[in-house]
Amino acid sequence: MAKITTLKIQEMKDRGEKISMVTAYDYPTACMVEKAGIEIILVGDSLMMAVLGDDSTVSCTMDQMIHHIKPVVKGAPSCLIVGDMPFGSYNESKKQAVHNAARLLKEGRCDVVKLEGGKEVADTVKAIVDAGVPVMAHIGLTPQTVSKLGGFKVQGKGEAAKDVLEDALALQEAGAFSIVLECIPEQLGKLITEKLDIPTIGIGAGRYTDGQVMVFHDMMGLFEKFVPKFVKQYRNLGSEITKALEEYKEDVKSGAFPEEKHTFGGVSEEELKRLY
């Protein structure tokens, strides 16, 4: 498969072809996503909850992101790889934001960075884009500021819809190449998608966005703490894997594993006798 670029993603919107995107945090998952032909991989800071057991994404560090972006890039050479900028890595100054965005590209080797926020981060987005780094924006429900939002709730309901639309327009103006819309009413997802020239990628934003993103562990049934309404569980690998582990335990206890075919020879009878 030829390498997916930001230009190709824009062309997909222009011709009305839907864009698929999923998270991955390691090499084997990246290899599977690449094989499936999905266009974009997000190495998201959801890593902290899905894989590292935290109850929010806030504690994520630059070093953790770089550590996880590297194997994903190796496993999925054709996909467009987006690296998440952790909370606090772009909020102090434009200089800090450009420095950290460049680190994700130079050390992690991803193609694009993603950061959360609306109008208030538009200048930061512009500074990063001006420095030569493509940016995917992220508005609506922004998990890094979930305490400020008062919990994992649908955003942009009623009069607040105007604010989300203004955020989207400001981020497009600032040079973002696409925008994630998380947990907003379907009608608002449709409106923003129609108003913007750049692609929108929805997660809980309804059926009319230009693309969809899902957290791998949610869609595969590997994260049991809670399953948001917008998640479609394509498999329940968590219970499949638990069943396999129970079988393995039984086999070890009963001696059914290992069988002769899993063993090595190589010591003659004579040699053995001498050793005994």
- Residues labelled catalytic: 182
Return the residue of 122, 215, 220, 222 that touches ligand KIV, per CB under 6 A: 215
CB-nearer residue toward ligand KIV: 172 or 209: 209
Query: 220: which residues sit within 8 A by CB, 6+ positions away?
Result: 233, 234, 235, 236, 237, 238
Q: Between the CA atoms of 28, 88, 108 and 44, what dihedral angle is there, to the nearest 10 degrees?
A: 30
Sole residue written with tokens 């968590």: 238
CB-neighbour burial class of residue 198 (10 A; exposed 0-12, middle 13-18, buried 19+) = buried
Q: Which residues pair with 19 in a beta bridge?
A: 211
Please state the closest distance from residue 271 (CB atom) to ligand KIV, in A: 57
Phi-psi region of 235 (alpha: psi -120 to 50; beta: other; left: phi over 0): beta
Please state the closest distance from residue 252 (CB atom) to ligand KIV, in A: 36
Q: Between the CA atoms of 153, 204, 164 and 132, what dihedral angle is there, to the nearest 10 degrees?
A: 120
Which of the ranges 43-51, 92-100, 129-137, 190-198 carries the binding residues for ligand KIV, by CB under 6 A? 43-51
Q: Between the CA atoms of 6, 12, 18 and 22, what dihedral angle is there, to the nearest 10 degrees?
A: -20
Q: Are 203 and 213 within 8 A, CB to CB? A: yes
Nearest residue to ligand KIV by CB is: 44
Please state the closest distance from residue 138 (CB atom) to ligand KIV, in A: 6
Check residue 33 for interaction with ligand KIV (CB under 6 A).
Answer: no
User: Interface mask (CB under 6 A) for ligand KIV, residues 120-159, using x and -?
Assistant: ------------------x---------------------
CB-nearer residue toward ligand KIV: 62 or 213: 213
Check residue 38 for interaction with ligand KIV (CB under 6 A).
Answer: no
Check residue 84 for interaction with ligand KIV (CB under 6 A).
Answer: yes
C-alpha pair distances (Å), 24 with each of 50, 192, 205, 216, 253: 10, 27, 21, 7, 35
Check residue 24 for interaction with ligand KIV (CB under 6 A).
Answer: no
Q: Are 133 and 182 within 8 A, CB to CB? A: no
Interaction residues for ligand KIV, span 44-63 (CB under 6 A): 44-46
Please state the closest distance from residue 142 (CB atom) to ligand KIV, in A: 8
Return the residue of 4, 33, 42, 72 that touches ligand KIV, per CB under 6 A: 42
Which of the ranges 40-48, 94-102, 161-169, 256-264 carries the binding residues for ligand KIV, by CB under 6 A? 40-48
Rule CB under 6 A: which residues touch ligand KIV?
23, 42, 44-46, 84, 138, 180, 182, 203, 213, 215
